[in-house]
Amino acid sequence: MKYRAPTSIDEAVELLSAHPGAAVFAGATDLIPQIQGGRPEPSLVVDLKRIPETVRLESENGFWRVGAAIPAAALTAHAGLSAVFPGLVEGAGLIGSDQIQGRATLGGNLCNASPAADSVPPLVALGAEAIIVGPGGERSAPVSEVVIGPGATSLDRAEFITEFRIPSPSRWSSDAYQRFIPRTEMDIAVAGAAARIRVDSDGRCEEAAVVLAAVAPTVVEVSAASGILEGRLIPHDSGRDAFWDELEEAVVSCCNPIDDKRGTAEYRRKVAQVLARRTVVTAARRARETL
Amino acid sequence: MTTTRTGYKWVGTRPVRHDGLDKVTGRARFGADYATAGMLHGAVLRSPHPHARILSIDLTEAAAMPGVKAIITGADLPDLSDEFAAGSEGGINFRDLSRNILARDKVLYEGHPVAAVAAVTLRAAQQAAEVIEVEYEILPAVLSLEHAMEDDAPVLHDDLFTLGLDSEPDRPSNISRRRVIARGDLDAGWVEADVVVEREYTTKAVHQGYIEPHAVVAETGEDGRSTLWCSSQGHFAMRTYTTKVLGWEPGDMKVIPAEIGGGFGGKTTIYLEPLAALLSRRAGRAVKMVMTRSEVFRATGPTSGSVMRIKMGARRDGKLVAATAWMAYEAGAFPGSPIGPGVMTVLACYDIPNVLIEGYDVVLNKPKVAAYRAPGAPMAAFAAESVVDELAEKLDMDPIELRLRNAVTEGVRAVYGPKFRKIGFVETLEEARDHPHYAAPLGPWQGRGVASGFWFNFGGETTATVSINEDGTAVVMSGCPDIGGTRAALAQMAAEELGIDVHRIEPVVADTHSIGYNDMTGGSRVAFAVGIAVVDASRRLIKDMCARAALIWDVPAEEVEWVDGRAQSVTDAAAPLTLEELASGSANTGGPLSATVTVNPRGAGAGFSTQICDVEVDPDTGLVTVLRYTVVQDAGRAIHPDYVEGQMQGGAVQGIGWALNEEYIFDRNGVMENPGFLDYRMPVASDLPMIDTVIVEVPNPDHPYGVRGVGETGIIPPMAAVANAVYAATGKRMQDLPMSPVRVLEALSGD
């Protein structure tokens, strides 16, 4: 296994085009355990962290540009990002553990293509675009279209993600992410839910997005959520207004979970409902606090 | 021996441990830290099937791989007949041990070693292991106790006939043994009972979870003499077991103990040691072998999964009058679960006149179990202490009060036979009852549970040497690996006796060729048994030094006494002689100052613990969070309270993990699905509150300072304490471990 750390996009694309057996990595927090667990070693591993575009973090022209190879610890420590996207930062701050977050990245978390990736639901809820480079040049794709199944992405072999472009939030808008694990850290989501809520000047929900993790082959957006929550005054506590039943029904209809060592399908459905409700409440509260 | 002195200078204090600096700086050398020049690396080929007959093994391709120096299979080990290791209570049969080290004829669990390879690099050894061709005839696997005990279940061992049945069995079975304890008249007992509770409980196999995987370096010479560097709970036992399995002479093998990164009972047997020693013999070079975490989970001992049915009856006044227990423990692939201590401990806390306890040791296609902290007792206590809690509720009686009304005390005959000597169970109950924790307010979805536990503790064969250096410093040498702070505790006892600073004493764990025989560090025995030997050796040295001072002063020996590290004349005939002066001049008074004592002491004081647990249950997710936890335990006397508290906390934490999330998960083909710390969910630090401790001191009259073992008792009550707390919070009795969120939510949805 050879290691290369190109310093430009062109150099990286060239390497990947020339080596069909190559694998890209950023933090390698998934790649190395996978190799140790028996995945065949790639002939070449390409480290993306030396490419300036992959570690850039800035806000411009109505977008935040977040480098795909920035370690999660740098995202959670970033006051500006934490203020505008608290849910995304919550997701990044739940990957693995403190030590893992010193290495793990948004790009890697997405391209590992696990349905349980903690930073992906908030990216999808925020409408983030992935900027993808490859032999054909640069293209962009919604984050929701990058992963097509467990362990599989829509990227071509020599393509990789340089950064995410996230629309700056409109005013009175915020987000939240929660996952469920039986412990407090060092674990993988049994289920997760992200919510983005925009409220009007009265504090009523104007627009909503709810995205679930670990309940289907990919993260899945509850497309009916916005219609259900629009116009609702979402209470501080998650009391039993009728629309919650509608939301939970919509959540369950999006779930296609499996039974495995981390939880049963039935349990995942139930917890997805709980987490969806809790993150909607949190995101709505945060949004109102910006009024 | 009596405990009359109080006001100790070192005993009961908290000095910095002697091995602490090496451990926090990384200088301490653990099993995998050893290396020799030109050393080879070993790898193990393991069975992918839980139950299969080995039809053939073809080593041709593997042997031809570059860098491969030796390959061994089960055929390279002598075919031993049944013989049990001394003191292992039937847990270690060398015939089975050999077949567990390398499969012979059949593989009996996924991960069972089939061959071992030594090569110039680890990778070369692994690659060679992968190309060994094994032809298997796959057999139906037995993966549950229920299945294993059925009459028509596939049988693992054609030659295994159940021991302990009323009539001689006429065909082989997966039940290796039946154990029965009975006393009194059950029928009369049930008649007397006003309230009866009967429940069934199940627990899953759980692993000790030591952080350090098994590791060994072995070097065997052309003359057949060998040296092993390995981490274990007892290097003398490693030598006995390894040479027995290889058919070698124990005297030809020297075992040098590495520092140990956790054992909890799991490092009381051998896995890699004979493989490395034999590979080294074949290759003529040292061989190093280190397990991966996955190998540790798949092929080293967890403790038993279990099924238990407990029935207990009490009079209206709370007196327990009758009890039955039916218990079956998984032994894994070979006989030898801790069902013995299981049946002995299950009801041992209480004085119940009419009792029938029946236990079964059952083999099935899972890894062979190994000792785990108070082997057999924690799951039994989960069942029994849950029933006691339910009885208290039915009697409308405080659960501690119910226990107090039935607690065993000095002079009461234990259900397993002997009469209890001085014990502190009642004291632990009273301390728990009077602790502020027991009366603290609780919020919604919060609940409190209590439970108690008993453990025998152990003495065992012991050698200790105390030597004085020429500068008046001392060396305290034993042959028991330090897994719980025993270096410090032994040094403290020697310091107390000799009257010198504890840090002028160097406690040493000596290898098999440097000190006489020692049993393993296990049974919470070291501070007790080695402590007795160290105190005795120190007292012999003092007597010797007093005699030498008498010689120098030309006075009768009885006119010299030892005070604060100095020989003093009772008649003030001369100025006192310090330890330094006596040591530096020892050549003129009879030679070096050293004393060796060997003992095999009885009277390891029984240990009892009562624990209080507060939980909060999330009714939406079933998540159980431990909010507050208090361990009350009788230590006899805490020599170093930090390490006593550490043992109490560590036991509680392992028990909480066992209660909430830890379990071996197998797929339907018998392959373990969670052989790593990601999905084998031991608690992490942030999962738990600070574990509060209350050390009760009811001195053990059979130890010079009153010590009873403290290492194991703490793990016995937690599962019942947590379950009883979950009941108090939710109204649901959890009878199956672990109480994972999935299970708890299921129980809550049962309304």
B539-546 average pLDDT score: 98
Residue B92: pLDDT band (50, 70, 90) is confident
> What is the pLDDT, as a whole number, of residue B5?
52
Among A271, A277, A278, the strongest candidate for a mutation testing the B interface, having the largest count of B CBs within 10 A, is A271
Does any CB of chain A come closer than 8 Å to the CB of residue B623? yes
Residue-range domain boundaries for chain A: 2-167, 174-289
Min CA distance, A7 vs chain B (Å)? 32
Contact B745 A267 (CB under 8 A): yes
**Structural class in CATH, domain B303-453+605-749:** alpha beta
Rounded-to-integer distance, Cα A149 and Cα A111, Å: 11
Among B742, B748, B749, the strongest candidate for a mutation testing the A interface, having the largest count of A CBs within 10 A, is B742
> What is the pLDDT, as a whole number, of residue A236?
66
Rounded-to-integer distance, Cα B172 and Cα B158, Å: 6
> What is the pLDDT, as a whole number, of residue B555?
95
B15-43 average pLDDT score: 96
Say yes or no to pLDDT of A237 above 70: no
Min CA distance, B336 vs chain A (Å)? 28
Closest Cα in chain B to A268:
B742
How many contacts, defined by CB atoms under 8 Å, are there between A and B? 48
Q: pLDDT tens across A137-195, in order?
A: 999 999 999 999 999 999 999 999 999 999 999 889 999 999 999 999 999 999 999 99
Say yes or no to pLDDT of B2 above 50: no
Q: Which residue has the tokens 């999962």?
A: B687
Tell me B460's DSSP state. Answer: -
- Select from B623, B674, B677 the Cβ nearest to the Cβ of A182: B623
Residue B573: pLDDT band (50, 70, 90) is confident
pLDDT > 90 in chain A, percent? 92
Q: pLDDT tens across B599-636, in order?
A: 999 999 999 999 999 999 999 999 999 999 999 999 99
Residues of B in contact with A182 (CB under 8 A): 623, 660-661, 681, 740-741
Q: Which residue has the tokens 């390698």?
A: A28
Closest Cα in chain B to A179:
B621
Say yes or no to pLDDT of B9 above 60: yes
Q: What burial letters (b/e) apply to B251-288, b meaning 16+ CB within 10 Å?
A: eebbbbbbbbbbbbbbbbbbbbbbbbbbbbbbbebbbb
Strands (E), B271-352: 287-290, 302-303, 306-314, 320-332
Rounded-to-integer distance, Cα B692 and Cα B636, Å: 18
Pick the CATH number of A174-289 from 3.40.1160.10, 3.40.720.10, 3.30.390.50, 3.40.50.300: 3.30.390.50
Q: Rounded to whole angstroms, what are the CA distances from B171 to A213, B343, B361, B464?
A: 53, 26, 17, 49
Tell me if A219 sits within 8 A of A121, measured CB to CB: yes
What's the length of chain B? 751
What are the helix (H) ranges across B132-227? 145-149, 186-192
Amino acid at the residue B158: D
Q: pLDDT tens across A53-78, in order?
A: 999 999 999 999 999 999 999 999 99
Partners of B229 in the β-ladder:
B217, B256
Q: pLDDT tens across B365-376, in order?
A: 999 999 999 999
B689-694 average pLDDT score: 98
Min CA distance, A159 vs chain B (Å)? 30
Rounded-to-integer distance, Cα B129 and Cα A247, Å: 54
Tell me if B222 sits within 8 A of B209, measured CB to CB: no
Residue A37: pLDDT band (50, 70, 90) is confident
Contact A186 B623 (CB under 8 A): no
Mean pLDDT of chain B: 96
Residues of B in contact with A188 (CB under 8 A): 678-679
Residue B407: pLDDT band (50, 70, 90) is very high
Rounded-to-integer distance, Cα A29 and Cα A111, Å: 12
Q: How far is CA A92 from the centre of its chain?
A: 8
Rounded-to-integer distance, Cα B353 and Cα B408, Å: 12
Q: Rounded to whole angstroms, what are the CA distances from B143 to A10, B111, B326, B336, B414?
A: 55, 14, 20, 17, 35
Q: pLDDT tens across A78-89, in order?
A: 999 999 999 999
Q: pLDDT tens across B313-347, in order?
A: 999 999 999 999 999 999 999 999 999 999 999 99
Instruction: Please give the backbone phi and psi of residue B217, each rounded to the nearest 5 degrees, phi first.
Output: -120, 130
Contact B660 A182 (CB under 8 A): yes
Q: Which residue has the tokens 């506590």?
A: A237
Residue-range domain boundaries for chain B: 20-28+459-599, 34-139+212-261+267-299, 303-453+605-749
Residues of A in contact with B661 (CB under 8 A): 182-183
Is B34-139+212-261+267-299 the same fold as B20-28+459-599?
Answer: no
Say yes or no to pLDDT of A36 above 90: no
Contact A183 B740 (CB under 8 A): no
> What is the pLDDT, as a whole number, of residue A170?
87
> What is the pLDDT, as a whole number, of residue B648?
98
Longest distance between any two alpha carbons in chain B, whole Å: 88
Residue B1: pLDDT band (50, 70, 90) is very low
Say yes or no to pLDDT of B98 above 50: yes
Among A35, A95, A183, the strongest candidate for a mutation testing the B interface, having the largest count of B CBs within 10 A, is A183
Please enumerate in sequence order all residues whose Cβ is within 8 A of that of A167, keeping only pairs 6 or more positions apart, or say none: A62, A63, A126, A127, A128
> What is the pLDDT, as a whole number, of residue A241?
82
Amino acid at the residue B376: G
Contact B661 A186 (CB under 8 A): no
Residues of B in contact with A186 (CB under 8 A): 677-678, 684
Partner A, chain B 680-699, Cβ-Cβ below 8 Å: 681, 683-684, 686-687
Fold of A2-167: 3.30.465
B456-472 average pLDDT score: 97
Closest Cα in chain A to B681:
A183
Kindly report the CATH number that applies to the domain delimited by B20-28+459-599: 3.30.365.10
Does any CB of chain A come closer than 8 Å to the CB of residue B129? no
Rounded-to-integer distance, Cα B664 and Cα A11, Å: 47
Residues of A in contact with B674 (CB under 8 A): 261
Q: Which two tokens stand for residue B99?
A: 């077949």
Would strands A191-199 and A205-213 be described as parallel, antiparallel, or unpaired? antiparallel
At A229, which helix (H) or strand (E)? helix A225-229
Torsional sign, CA B340, B343, B346, B350: negative
Among B204, B616, B618, B621, the strongest candidate for a mutation testing the A interface, having the largest count of A CBs within 10 A, is B621
Say yes or no to pLDDT of B3 above 80: no
Torsional sign, CA B159, B160, B164, B167: negative
**HEC profile of B591-629:** CCCEEEEEECCCCCCCEEEEEEEEEEECCCCCCEEEEEE
pTM, two decimal places: 0.96
Contact B621 A264 (CB under 8 A): no
Say yes or no to pLDDT of A238 above 90: no
Residue B4: pLDDT band (50, 70, 90) is very low
Say yes or no to pLDDT of B445 above 70: yes
Tell me if B390 sits within 8 A of B171, measured CB to CB: no
B477-483 average pLDDT score: 97
Say yes or no to pLDDT of B652 above 70: yes
Say yes or no to pLDDT of B241 above 60: yes
CA atoms within 13 A on the CB side of B41: 15
Kindly report the CATH number that applies to the domain delimited by B34-139+212-261+267-299: 3.90.1170.50
- Select from A180, A182, A184 the Cβ nearest to the Cβ of B686: A184
B55-65 average pLDDT score: 98
What's the length of chain A? 291
Does any CB of chain A come closer than 8 Å to the CB of residue B211? no
